[in-house]
Amino acid sequence: MSRPLRHGYTNSTTGDGRTVVKRYRGPDAEVRAAREQRALTRLHGRLPVPPLLATEAGAVTLGHLPGVPAQDLLAAGHGPQVLAACGRVLRRLQEIGPGVVEDGPAVAGSVLVHGDFGPHNLLLDPDTFAVTGLVDWEFTHPGDPVEDLAWCEWTVRTHHPDRAGALGELFRAYGRPVPPWPRRRAAMLASCARLEEFCRRRDGDGPAVRQWRERSRATADWPEQPPPVG
C-alpha cells in the first residue's frame, strides 16, 4: 500500500517500498516536472539517481532506492561520515557537464547544480555511508559551483546546528578550493530569496514567506563558523 513519505516538503510524495510517485505542487509545476524528468533520464548510470519508470501530467513514478535518509543518520550522530559522503558525491556531480540539464553552449565556469543539495536529498548505506541515492532534481540548472556547496552548509547549520562542527568533513571530501565565506553566504542568501519568492507565488504573503525572510536575516548575521579546511 502506498503511503506518504516523511521527507517530502514541496510536493506530494508517496511510496510502497517498490516505487515512489511524486506529484508536483506549486508554481511552475510542469516546468519542474520536465526538468526532473530530463535530469533523471540523462544522469541514469552516471549518478545514483532513481530510475524513471513512468510519467504523467504533473507526476513521475520512480523506482525505489535502497538506503537511509542521510538527515536521519546525521541526527543520529554520524555527522563526519554523512558530511564526507555529501562532499564526495558533490564532487562527482560537478564533474558532469551542465549540458546534462540544458542543451547549448555552457557559460564558462558553470557546473551542473542540483539546486537543493544536502543531506535531506541523499540516501546512504547505513553501514558504509556510501551514497545510494541523490533525489529531487526539480530545481537543477547550470550554475556556479558555490551554490550546492553553500546550500549543504546552510542546511546543516540551520537544521542540524549540533552537527555543524563536522562541516570540515564536507569541505575536505569535496576536495576542491572552498569559496571564501562572503561568497558562500551570498549564495545562501540567494537561495533563501528564491525559496521565499516560490512560497509567495504559492501561498501569498503567509507564514512560509515570513519564515524564509527570517531565515535570510539570520543567515546574514552568521559568522564564518566553522571555517573551511585546507
Kindly report the CATH number assigned to the domain that includes residue 126.
3.90.1200.10
Which CATH number does the domain housing residue 25 bear?
A: 3.30.200.20
CA distance 76 to 137: 26
* pLDDT (0 to 100) of residue 84: 98
Q: Verify that 55 and 157 share a domain, yes or no.
A: no
Structural domain includes residue 184 = no
Q: Verify that 117 and 38 share a domain, yes or no.
A: no
- Going by pLDDT thresholds of 50, 70 and 90, the confidence category of residue 230 is very low
Count structural domains, the chain.
2
Among 22, 45, 63, the domain boundary falls at 63
- Going by pLDDT thresholds of 50, 70 and 90, the confidence category of residue 45 is very high
Q: Verify that 56 and 72 share a domain, yes or no.
A: no
Q: Verify that 30 and 77 share a domain, yes or no.
A: no
Please name the amino acid found at residue 202: R
List the grid coordinates of 62: 520512480
Q: 136-159 pLDDT, tens per residue?
A: 999 999 999 999 999 999 999 999
Cis peptide leading into 226, omega within 30 of 0? yes
Structural domain includes residue 154 = yes
Structural domain includes residue 160 = yes
